[in-house]
Chain A
């Protein structure tokens, strides 16, 4: 198994790094600023954990399905899940995106003692940063989507050294992938608990994240006013500032999309316990995919305690979501139908199914 040198040559130098942050803090040689992750000094170690856990060194989709769910997927768009619903927080916190379900569920999990802390992205829209929240209140204060690639998992590596044992994570799909890979790296367990200590993963819907240049763009658009909230629904970039709400076409920010995100097939955090996203339909609600028993238990308890409410995902909306996801998956194929990206391992039967399910929706 290769190490830092190959991580640099095959991921970082090729702009495939999505800035998940999983490799940060394992050693003193990989550092970050903004959305950037760089090797600053050769470590000299041939085999590196950094390479093993990076979601962009290899991503074997059916292997991950087996690892997390012990079964292959039937739905090539959304992966393995138990249920899909609309959900919203009963008491939505200020700044929360749509229904506020992600913040509400994680704050609830901490308050009930199910987990000791949550690693998530906090800070402000113009200055997002990794945070380890240890109280429900702290979780709620981090509510609201950050659209730039914040290497949040750096906080996870730090958290396992300092305090919390049972950690929850709110992350982008690549971050869920990295944590799943980390959980699998057995030899690590003796020294590093970054994977093991993660007890609950809440993945976000993510079609792409943005480069840090987006901050400057945003600041310029805000014309000196405080940026309160950012949203990128179908109709375009919507920025809420102290002066009001403005919308710009998505095309204006397209060149800020990270190169790494173009090759990504995972739009709904397919290996998380729970996946949460926009409904693209009703801004008061979130889409909520329950994928594992652990996720199911939390949602059931939260519903019972009146923390969140759920309702069935509207039948007519599901094909729209699945089509959007499958469109992105089809884009990673070249003209001959092969996967363009070396690191992506998509088995033949999955590939055939993706095509089939996509064609049905056309």
Chain B
């Protein structure tokens, strides 16, 4: 992370920042005082950037236990007159939505910005979701940057807009904005005195009676959008062919039109205020257009809005043919509502709609290169890291479930351990939905005995997920005496999104020691008996799980072992190697268990010798494979 660039006090200079850093810089320039998030990709880097600079710019930063708590804290800061920022991913905005749909009615005071990261193609999510629909449901205006530079400018201006409207503003970024790097022109750093104040007379109340005030605020937002510098038109006057674009799809469109040599004849209306829409600006261009094509990700939000607008003004705009996701004309290889757009896809779509033949240029020697790759690149599955404690946990779970023999149902959740759905987790998991869902579902399954459902139920959750949304479901299970075993895979960090701390770590966003919130204490407090075990002891773990499966009522097991990526840092690791005498290769009944089935990336097969081998560069020295080798051919050489 470029803390230097983000904090540089040289207005007018350009620095290269990522989109997430640009958002952080924009918030700093706007004088943000309070920033809170539950980490989620693609926006995970915003908060740590602010946290690192928190002392310098007097910003309070926190990792909240979940997005709802984060937005509530940020709203409180706004209520006290401070500028506040909440950062989440689309899924996180769902969690925050209950509060978000309420605050539009009470309104905000200090500028309040909600940065939401949508993840087209679901690179690091379980689903693609278009949060613009949620913002509209919550009556919150949406701003969408199309470039990294715009991400900073829009974030900064969103605070002003929020204060003008007395309404939180959503800045909707996509993965390609968050993770891309680009030139960002620095603005002035704030010289303001940040003072929180709240009088006894102030109120922040939600009431259905206030709906008309909210709608008036949105009318004002639409009026301001008409002159937003982030909406602009390029192309010929009175264009017959018009592309309406938002987000990075705008830059893809610009590139595509150049490739197709249509830049001079096709107009492009780039919109950042995608809700509420600048209706006059759009109508002005619709009146001359005969064909309109939409470029946006994930869903047809802009498209639906513009088409509705056109329908309302059909007498003025006349006949227009619309091309977009609904017509199927703007679509990637997966279909119109699946995956990302890119310059190639947009060039293909625009070429087809506008009747310009386009053949992608042949990459030199591509066929030859493909031929060379074909048989030489091994197929690679998504896999848990070498030494990952989850792998050991899953092997123990699988073993215990098979030993139990009652078709134990195992429900999954969100985290690295979601990979338990795949072969790297021995296909143990059967469900994945959203944070905490596995426990809620397990609580439901655990009450189906009167319908002859007698199979034991296990719910697997991570430690960070536990704090995010598990206690509520467990309280429910305890209260309603549901038959379930909750297994907490506690790797003592929020591993998936980049090892952010959580309450169980006892370290806060600023890096201060604050004492651990112990998962076992929470469980005990709820009244659920808890066992703690080390997953690296696979045999012991198997026995514990088997024993707990035979017990009744809600119960919990914490499998605690630090994430291998964290534990190996700065330490001399144990050396693990295969004793070439003891390993009997394919003569063993294991059928290459370590490299083929257990399949830790460090366990490899030496084709020449026909024996197992350990890739010592990858191995972290956990020794779990050694405990599972039936020949006891894997040796762990302790370094201490």
- The distance in angstroms between the C-alpha atoms of A43 and B546, with both chains bound, is 22
B631 at interface, CB cutoff 8 A = yes
- Given A31-B402, A40-B403, verify A161-B589 contact (CB < 8 Å): no
Name the segment of B224-232, B286-294, B343-351, B590-598 touching the other chain.
Answer: B590-598
Are B589 and A50 in contact, with the CB atoms below 8 A? yes
- The distance in angstroms between the C-alpha atoms of A50 and B590, with both chains bound, is 11
A49 at interface, CB cutoff 8 A = yes
A323 at interface, CB cutoff 8 A = no
Binding site for B on A (CB under 8 A): 25-29, 31-33, 36, 38-41, 43-45, 48-50, 161-162, 190-191
Residues of A within 8 A of B632 (CB): 161-162
Q: Please give the distance in Å from A12's CB to the nearest CB on chain B.
A: 10
**Nearest chain-B residue to A25 (Cβ)?**
B630
Are A28 and B398 in contact, with the CB atoms below 8 A? no
Residues of B within 8 A of A38 (CB): 402-403, 405
Which residues of B (575-625) have their CB < 8 Å from a CB of A? 584, 587-591, 593, 597-598
Which of B400, B402, B542, B628 makes the CB contact (< 8 A) with A28? B628
Closest 8 interchain pairs by CB?
Answer: A27-B589, A40-B402, A28-B593, A33-B403, A26-B589, A43-B591, A40-B399, A33-B546
B122 at interface, CB cutoff 8 A = no
The residue among A33, A50, A161 with the most chain B CB atoms within 10 A of its own CB is: A33
- The distance in angstroms between the C-alpha atoms of A39 and B584, with both chains bound, is 22
8 A–B contacts, CB within 8 A, in A order: A27-B588, A27-B630, A28-B593, A33-B546, A40-B398, A40-B399, A43-B589, A45-B591
Residues of B within 8 A of A41 (CB): 398, 402, 426, 597
B307 at interface, CB cutoff 8 A = no
Which of B398, B542, B584, B590 makes the CB contact (< 8 A) with A33? B542
Q: Knowing that A28-B598, A40-B399, A191-B588 touch, tell me 20 more A-B residue pairs with CB under 8 angstroms.
A: A26-B589, A28-B628, A29-B593, A31-B399, A33-B400, A33-B403, A33-B543, A36-B405, A38-B402, A41-B398, A43-B591, A44-B591, A45-B589, A45-B591, A49-B589, A50-B589, A161-B631, A161-B632, A162-B632, A191-B584
Are A31 and B589 in contact, with the CB atoms below 8 A? no
Residues of B within 8 A of A191 (CB): 584, 587-588
**Nearest chain-A residue to B596 (Cβ)?**
A44
Which of A28, A39, A162, A190 makes the CB contact (< 8 A) with B590? A28
Residues of A within 8 A of B398 (CB): 40-41
Q: Please give the distance in Å from B634's CB to the nearest CB on chain A.
A: 12
- The distance in angstroms between the C-alpha atoms of A26 and B405, with both chains bound, is 21
Which residues of B (238-275) have their CB < 8 Å from a CB of A? none
**Nearest chain-B residue to A216 (Cβ)?**
B550
Chain B: interface residue count, which band? Answer: 20 to 34
Are B403 and A31 in contact, with the CB atoms below 8 A? yes
Are B590 and A27 in contact, with the CB atoms below 8 A? yes
Which residues of B (541-599) have their CB < 8 Å from a CB of A? 542-543, 546, 584, 587-591, 593, 597-598
Which of A39, A49, A161, A162 makes the CB contact (< 8 A) with B402? A39
- The distance in angstroms between the C-alpha atoms of A202 and B573, with both chains bound, is 46
Residues of A within 8 A of B510 (CB): none
**Nearest chain-A residue to B405 (Cβ)?**
A38
**Nearest chain-A residue to B547 (Cβ)?**
A33
Which residues of B (120-178) have their CB < 8 Å from a CB of A? none
B496 at interface, CB cutoff 8 A = no
**Nearest chain-A residue to B592 (Cβ)?**
A44
The residue among A39, A41, A45, A190 with the most chain B CB atoms within 10 A of its own CB is: A41
Residues of B within 8 A of A39 (CB): 402
Are A36 and B403 in contact, with the CB atoms below 8 A? yes
- The distance in angstroms between the C-alpha atoms of A49 and B630, with both chains bound, is 13
Q: Please give the distance in Å from A218's CB to the nearest CB on chain B.
A: 16
B507 at interface, CB cutoff 8 A = no
- The distance in angstroms between the C-alpha atoms of A49 and B584, with both chains bound, is 15
Are B587 and A48 in contact, with the CB atoms below 8 A? no
Q: Please give the distance in Å from B622's CB to the nearest CB on chain A.
A: 17
Which of A28, A31, A49 makes the CB contact (< 8 A) with B629? A28
Which of B587, B593, B631 makes the CB contact (< 8 A) with A190? B587
Residues of A within 8 A of B426 (CB): 41
The residue among B399, B543, B587, B630 with the most chain A CB atoms within 10 A of its own CB is: B630
Q: Please give the distance in Å from A23's CB to the nearest CB on chain B.
A: 9
- The distance in angstroms between the C-alpha atoms of A359 and B542, with both chains bound, is 51
Q: Please give the distance in Å from A263's CB to the nearest CB on chain B.
A: 21
- The distance in angstroms between the C-alpha atoms of A31 and B405, with both chains bound, is 12
The residue among B589, B591, B631 with the most chain A CB atoms within 10 A of its own CB is: B589
- The distance in angstroms between the C-alpha atoms of A43 and B593, with both chains bound, is 8
**Nearest chain-B residue to A50 (Cβ)?**
B589
Residues of B within 8 A of A162 (CB): 632
Q: Please give the distance in Å from B541's CB to the nearest CB on chain A.
A: 12
Q: Please give the distance in Å from B578's CB to the nearest CB on chain A.
A: 15
Which residues of B (373-423) have their CB < 8 Å from a CB of A? 398-400, 402-403, 405
**Nearest chain-B residue to A23 (Cβ)?**
B589
- The distance in angstroms between the C-alpha atoms of A40 and B399, with both chains bound, is 6
Residues of A within 8 A of B588 (CB): 27, 191
Residues of B within 8 A of A32 (CB): 403
- The distance in angstroms between the C-alpha atoms of A197 and B591, with both chains bound, is 24
Residues of A within 8 A of B630 (CB): 25-28
- The distance in angstroms between the C-alpha atoms of A40 and B545, with both chains bound, is 15
Residues of B within 8 A of A29 (CB): 590, 593
Q: Please give the distance in Å from B303's CB to the nearest CB on chain A.
A: 49
Residues of A within 8 A of B629 (CB): 28
- The distance in angstroms between the C-alpha atoms of A254 and B426, with both chains bound, is 39
- The distance in angstroms between the C-alpha atoms of A145 and B485, with both chains bound, is 35
Q: Please give the distance in Å from A148's CB to the nearest CB on chain B.
A: 15
- Given A38-B402, A40-B399, A40-B402, verify A31-B542 contact (CB < 8 Å): yes
Which of B542, B543, B593 makes the CB contact (< 8 A) with A27? B593
